[in-house]
Amino acid sequence: MKQKLLIISFIFLLPPFTFAQKRGFNAGMLVGIVPSQVDGDSYSGYHKVGLQAGLFSEFVMNKRFSLLTEIKYINKGAKQVSKDNMFYYKSSLHYAEVPFSLQYRYKKGFSFNAGLAFGYLISYSENFGWGNVVVEPVFKRYEFSGFVGIGYQISEKLLIVNRFEYSILPVRDYPLPSTTIRDRGWNNNLILIGLYYKFAQ
């Protein structure tokens, strides 16, 4: 059922990208990798590597600034394995995400971008080495995050973008009442490396 809802969402959101392209906007597709961790779960390091893929539409305001809208699937989470392989943990979070950003074009093909992203958690799993388990409290269904990044224009149609994204609101609560600012919940912490391809107009 969740997969069907995601497919329906893409079907309804695809026409605006097509319309934007016909109106002279830039539109295209993106794909990339997502090294990630979850702050608050007591594990550290960007050991979990997921994927991102989707569509984007760009409204060019002038030679320097443009607005970018995306709709994509993105896989976040965390992974920790001890050196002796005696401990294993992996969380895998599957989101449908809609980022909005402002992009500033600098010299020699470089650009900078910053924005907000709204995510819907399609499904998730946690594994401690003996199969998927359900641990309370569960991850929250919705996510609100912010990001900053830098891009480089490889060619007229290809752009590579590197972003740092962090959950503004916790994606999971601690099981006990919060006692300090640090204990207010878990937050997604990730690096996004994406290749953006513009469709021919």
The string of pLDDT tens digits covering residues 89-98 is: 999 999 999 9
List the beta bridge partners of residue 118.
98, 144
CATH of domain 2-198: 2.40.160.20
Assess whether pLDDT exceeds 70 at residue 5. no
Determine the pLDDT at residue 40: 86
Confidence (pTM): 0.84
What does residue 157 show for φ and ψ, rounded to 5 degrees? -110, -15
Report angle CA 54, 59, 63 to the nearest 5 degrees.
125
Amino acid identity for residue 65 in this structure? F
Summarised one tens digit per residue, pLDDT across range 45-73 is 999 999 999 999 999 888 899 999 999 99
Quote the CA–CA distance of 186 and 135 in Å, as a whole number.
Answer: 14
179 has pLDDT over 80: no
Measured CA to CA in angstroms, residue 26 lies from 29, 185, 201 at distances of: 10, 38, 8
Residue type, 77: G
| Residue of 183 and 15 predicted with greater confidence | 183
Structure tokens at 115: 């924005």
DSSP the chain: -HHHHHHHHHHHHHHHHHHHHHTT-EEEEEEEEEEEEEETSS--SS-EEEEEEEEEEEEE-SSSEEEEEEEEEEEEEEEEE-TTS--EEEEEEEEEEEEEEEEEE-GGGEEEEEEEEEEEEEEEEEESSSSEE--SSPPPSEEEEEEEEEEEE-SSSEEEEEEEEEESS-SB--SS---SGGGS-BEEEEEEEEEEEEPP-
Is 194 in contact with 52 (CB distance < 8 Å)? yes
pLDDT tens, 112-154?
Answer: 999 999 999 999 999 887 777 778 889 999 999 999 999 999 9
Q: Which pLDDT belongs to residue 117?
A: 97
What is the C-alpha separation between 37 and 40, in angstroms, rounded? 9
